[in-house]
Amino acid sequence: PADLVLTVDTTQRYQKVKGFGGSVTDAAAMNILSLPETAQDHLLRSYFSEEGLEYNLVRLPMASCDFSLHAYTYDDVPFDYELTHFSLRDEDTKLKASALAMSKQPLSLYASPWTSPTWMKTSESFVGKGTLKGQAGDKYHKTWANYFVRFLDEYAKYNLTFWAVTAENEPSAGLINNYPFQCLGFTAEQQRDFIAWDLGPALANSSHRHIQLIILDDNRLHLPHWAKVVLEDEKAARYIHGIGIHWYLDFIGPIQDTVVPTHELFPDYFILATEACIGAHFWERDVILGCWDRGNQYSHSILTNLNHFVAGWTDWNLALDLEGGPNWVKNYVDSPVIVDTSEGIFYKQPMFYHMGHFSKFIPEGSQRVGLVASKESKKVDLEYTAFLRPDGAVVVVVLNR
């Protein structure tokens, strides 16, 4: 085929990068800590050290999610509006905090709740369709907002401070009948009012007033509608910094129709990919060891996102077992690192190395720049992106699927 020339144009400047990383769920922490100490250390260095992928973003569930051994929150004592009984669990202190303590590099941590205590919910259950009782500004909403502050306070005692919180993981999930695992429903209007009346003020009046607040944290299908509803309200918008997106329904919500108009309407808010994994759809196998195509799927998603104003990309579980768990509702999925607990070893999958082509070469603070192809590459379907790094170097990432 005739030569294809890619020309970098640093006069064209786009979004700045926040970073790349993955999530420390209960399951991920259990798998990591099930390994012999040398292997644990090797696994964490593989992700976070200079000889590894140099991840700088870590997402943490606030209390349990489906990748936990059971459902729980930090205050399951009914009607404890003062949160007197609020306390972190062994999952936090023995698992998540110890896993994070082993990373020497500075990390940007961000936390997302799946469910509130059941006594605050219309469903009185961790699962299924349900929202907070009452409405924004009342004692349920105030208590739920204070729960975020208490979470940050308690983690600070373990020397872990957070860069951001998301207002709720997948708020649309709690609007679905019989939803199978932990959720808490919010419409865009309910999220707007909760932030304006409760969560925004609670964070602003706490010692964590510098924390960033991320809305949506759900499939990009909800954009730009969700952003319009929440960010066109000044009372809510002043507390908000970014918009989080999940990748699960990308095939029915093209990026040009969702993310791009959102960025054009609200250029001052960052857009961050906050969750992705393969194996979540019922038609996909859970774990396929050594699957190269799954690496390609990660790279393709990351490139598409970066080329459309997204500031970073967060993988889901940092490590899972051979089954793709543990997961208390058997919602098994794949992960870049698979741990064989019985043998005390772990596998680095193609997804792991695909992540590294971004995380290792595009540090925080890099800015996307123009990259022009000499002609339409009809013969070879190449995907590519270019960044100007803080150290003055230019990096180009090219994927040939």
Q: Which residues are catalytic?
A: 170, 275
How far apart are the C-alpha atoms of 63 and 75, rounded to whole Å? Answer: 10
In what helix (H) or strand (E) does residue 33 lie, and over which residues does it extend? helix 26-33
Token couple for 168: 């709720």
What interhelical angle do 350-359 and 292-306 show, nearest 10?
30
Residue whose token pair is 């908000």: 240
Token couple for 17: 């990068």
**Residue burial 222-234, b: 16+ Cβ < 10 Å; e: rest:** bbbebbebbbebe
394-400/382-388 β-pairing: antiparallel
- Residues 318, 306, 199: CA angle, nearest 5 degrees: 65
Give CA separation, 213 vs 117, 199, 386, in Å.
Answer: 21, 9, 28
- Residues 339, 342, 343: CA angle, nearest 5 degrees: 75
367-373/6-16 β-pairing: antiparallel
Note whether 160 and 92 are within 8 A (CB): no
**What values do phi and psi take at 226, rounded to 5?**
-60, -45
**Burial class for 372, CB neighbours closer than 10 Å (0-12, 13-18, 19+):** exposed
Token couple for 73: 């929150």
Helix (H, G, I), strand (E, B) or coil at 94: helix
